[in-house]
Structure 1
Amino acid sequence: MDAVRRDRPIMVLALAAAAMQLVGTHFAASRQPLARPLDWFGVVLLLAGPALLLLHRRAPEAMLGGVLAVTAGYLALGYPWGPVPLSMGLAIILTTAARRRAYAWSVAGALVAALFIWAAVHGGGADFVRAAAVSGWLVILVFFGEGLRLRRERAAERRAKAQEAKKRAEDEYRLALARDIHDVVAHSLSMINVRASVALHLAERDPAQLKPALEAIKSGSKDALEQVRELLGVLRRDAPLQPGLTLDGLSRLLEDARGAGLAAELTFDGGPGLVRDRLGPAGEAVVYKVVQEAVVNVVRHAGASRVAVRLELQAVPGEPRPAVPGPGQAAGAGQQLRVSIRDDGRGVRGAPEGNGRRGMRERLAAVGGTVDITDGHPGTLVTVVVPLHGTGGAEEAEPPSDVAR
């Protein structure tokens, strides 16, 4: 079906050429009384040239050679002159456009040589003029075919680039979805596992505290189910790729860590509203995901008793920001958000980078941020830096404050 659709323009062109050659030759024959009458064989030769054009995709060389032979035979038999060379000109164009450049130029050159030899044999000045005119048209036809060839190649290049961009977007989509699934499963199941362990411990030591622990497991599993539904909505294309994640959720994130037995602390240095306004939705979601991954790693692997998360505004090194922005300068220019997650666990100890840490780097790279994970002596220190967007909000004058939660 696709091949028929691609060949449809050539079929229309061949039919038009056949009609023009038949009708044009019929009218031209009335002015050529000395020419051979147009019989059935002449009609076959007139139709054979346009019919051979249909071979332009499968056998362009055979197409051009066949059209040339049919046209030469028609003229050699003395049939009336008319638009007979039309199919030959189209064949030269199609052969050149089909990237058979050397063959097309060779045929055109041979025709030019034959025309001038014929003119020299007849010895008339008018014949040389006709030969030069026809030779010029042959060169024009080949160049026209070259133009079509270049147009096709550029169109194919654009399609290839579009396919590559589509594939790259699909790969990025799958990668982002894989990171989201990893975050949901790793965070939620880790918290449920830890709380279940706490519940088992309480069932033996302090049965009165068993109910709150089970309620925490129920709440955590409910949140996990909601996030999984959001991701399934993405797969069904019923929801956006990134669910709405804001810094407001960090308090709940640290509350989950406390439920897992950690002493968790969250500190904003510079005002939560000021940080949020300058991050933007994409940066805010990335910071949330990175903090979530770091806290999950502390719960699962660090063996820590304490984790502290601190967010603070900083001037970009080498670009000090004035206290009062100058004319035309955006507030927040030259500033960055520094997020540190510190625990008192066993530290990195040269552990290889897994999907979680790799996902942190990829997320931050998408918003121009960086992450550095080092041993904190004791524990692990995760340092995240995210550039801030300039805003002109009134919150610029908000004084720095520390809010411990």
Structure 2
Amino acid sequence: MSGSNPDAELAPPLGRATSRRGPGLAVLTALGQPAGTAIIAGWQHASVGTIGYALLVFSGLALADRHRSPRRNFLIVVAATLAYHLLNRPFGVTLLAPMIAAAAVVTAGHRWLVAVTTAGAYASWVVVSGVAARPALAALALIVGAGLVTEIGTLVSRRIHDAGAERRRLSEERQRRRASEQRLLIAAELHDVLGHHLSLINVRAGVGLHLMDRDPEQARAALHAIAQSSAEALREVQTVLNTLYPTGEAAPRAPTPGLDRLAELTEAAALPIRTVLDGPARALPAAVDRAAYRIVQEALTNIRRHAGTGAAATVTIGYRQDALVVEIDDDGGGVRHPEPACAGNGITGMRERAAALGGELTAGPAPDGNGGWRVRATLPLGSDQTREATS
């Protein structure tokens, strides 16, 4: 999502959405293990049995929890796999689920748990099953090979992840540096413009006051020069400020509005919008009021640009004891096409506004899965940043 916020054009990206890990791999494993084992068992003229198939499916589906609780998940998967082999079911594609669970545990930094659990499970199988030496050694070789494959895969995955994280860090650092340089240029330009014209206006005003009674014509000329200088100053400041705005959008000519003008904003949005007030409304710090208004404005702009005028939105303003919560939801208005992460700085601009006040902002797909988008900002009402920004 991109937007028209002037601060957004200069804001560095302050984070990226984390990828959601779904149950896809767990389902594939739950299907692949019994299917592969059935084929191999057919070559061996052996029967997997209903209980065997159930254990293979269960160990695969259990992987859905591997990222949230990797250690517990690994123990469950190993227990199901061990139970399968203690029932003297045929070998097949039975180590796939333990390998995937072990990779999650190693990534979480618990390699010792994999070694101890694997050794204990193997020893239990050998003792309880009373297997002969040759099959035991073959199984050990298979386990060692699976461990090496898991270790290599984990290492490669970690290298890829680290390389991607480093690229993102460098990219964000470059954007922050460019934003800082642009701010400095704009500040220097405004300093020159305002310093020159305001000093000139000050001098002319002094002359005009001094000559007001003695020489009205000279006083009139001084006032005329003041009018010209002020008009020129406004034009130059407008030129500088226009660099912050996309083509066709002008810098504001009125004081920045707050939530007291929220109704005007929603009426002008050209979208069906429902406004919800959660909690009794009360006076807000000026900085919080401005930031909340701009976040709603930016979010509605993004809805028009990305979901279209067919979308409907809900703006919720939550008055908490120590914070203001602003939430903007839309129903997607149909299919929302994903936008490259590098395109636009609308979201990062909103995040920077919230962060400047000591708050936070999240943006992502709506949790109900209807194709819409949710922006939620929490703005503290009593933080040091709020007091400094207000003053």
- TM-score (structure 2 length as normaliser): 0.51
2:184 & 2:194 partners in 1: Cα distance? 15
Deviation at 1:126? 6.3
- Change in CA separation of 1:17 and 1:34 when aligned onto 2, cut-off 3 Å: closer
Q: Report if the CA contact (8 A) 2:95-2:146 is conserved.
A: no
Q: Which has the larger radius of gyration?
A: 1
- Change in CA separation of 1:44 and 1:141 when aligned onto 2, cut-off 3 Å: same
2:30 & 2:39 partners in 1: Cα distance? 14
Q: Report if the CA contact (8 A) 2:70-2:104 is conserved.
A: yes
1:156 aligns with 2:165: yes
Give the structure 2 partner of residue 248 of structure 1.
none
Q: Report if the CA contact (8 A) 1:92-1:145 is conserved.
A: no
Give the structure 2 partner of residue 200 of structure 1.
209
What SS class does the counterpart of residue 77 from structure 2 fall into?
Answer: helix
Ranked by relative contact order (alpha carbons within 8 Å, sequence separation 6 or more), the top structure is 2
1:7 aligns with 2:21: yes
Q: Report if the CA contact (8 A) 1:108-1:138 is conserved.
A: no
Give the structure 2 partner of residue 18 of structure 1.
30
1:99 aligns with 2:106: no
Deviation at 1:123? 5.8
Q: Report if the CA contact (8 A) 1:98-1:149 is conserved.
A: no
1:134 aligns with 2:143: yes
CA RMSD of aligned residues (A): 3.2
1:227-306 to structure 2, matched below 5 A, reads 227-238=236-247
Deviation at 1:51? 1.4
Give the structure 1 partner of residue 49 of structure 2.
38
Give the structure 1 partner of residue 384 of structure 2.
none
Give the structure 2 partner of residue 170 of structure 1.
179
2:78 & 2:167 partners in 1: Cα distance? 35
1:65 aligns with 2:63: no
Deviation at 1:69? 0.7
Q: Report if the CA contact (8 A) 1:38-1:80 is conserved.
A: no
Opposite residue 71 of structure 1, the aligned amino acid is T
Opposite residue 156 of structure 1, the aligned amino acid is A
Give the structure 2 partner of residue 147 of structure 1.
156
- TM-score (structure 1 length as normaliser): 0.50
Q: Report if the CA contact (8 A) 1:192-1:220 is conserved.
A: yes
Deviation at 1:108? 4.9
In structure 2, stretches of 5+ residues that fail to align are 1-16, 249-391
Give the structure 1 partner of residue 346 of structure 2.
none
2:142 & 2:46 partners in 1: Cα distance? 25
Opposite residue 210 of structure 1, the aligned amino acid is A
1:123 & 1:82 partners in 2: Cα distance? 18
1:44-59 to structure 2, matched below 5 A, reads 44-59=54-69
1:81 aligns with 2:91: yes
Q: Report if the CA contact (8 A) 2:82-2:121 is conserved.
A: no
User: Percent identity of the aligned residues?
Assistant: 30
- Change in CA separation of 1:231 and 1:238 when aligned onto 2, cut-off 3 Å: farther
Deviation at 1:136? 3.1
- Change in CA separation of 1:127 and 1:29 when aligned onto 2, cut-off 3 Å: closer
- Change in CA separation of 1:193 and 1:176 when aligned onto 2, cut-off 3 Å: same
2:133 & 2:114 partners in 1: Cα distance? 29
Deviation at 1:71? 0.5
In structure 1, stretches of 5+ residues that fail to align are 240-405
Q: Report if the CA contact (8 A) 2:205-2:226 is conserved.
A: yes
How many residue pairs end up in the alignment?
232
Q: Report if the CA contact (8 A) 2:59-2:97 is conserved.
A: yes
- Change in CA separation of 1:209 and 1:151 when aligned onto 2, cut-off 3 Å: same
**CA offset digits 1:270-289 (Å, max 9, x no partner):** xxxxxxxxxxxxxxxxxxxx
Opposite residue 38 of structure 1, the aligned amino acid is G
Opposite residue 77 of structure 1, the aligned amino acid is L
**CA offset digits 1:38-73 (Å, max 9, x no partner):** 11x333211111212112221111121111111001
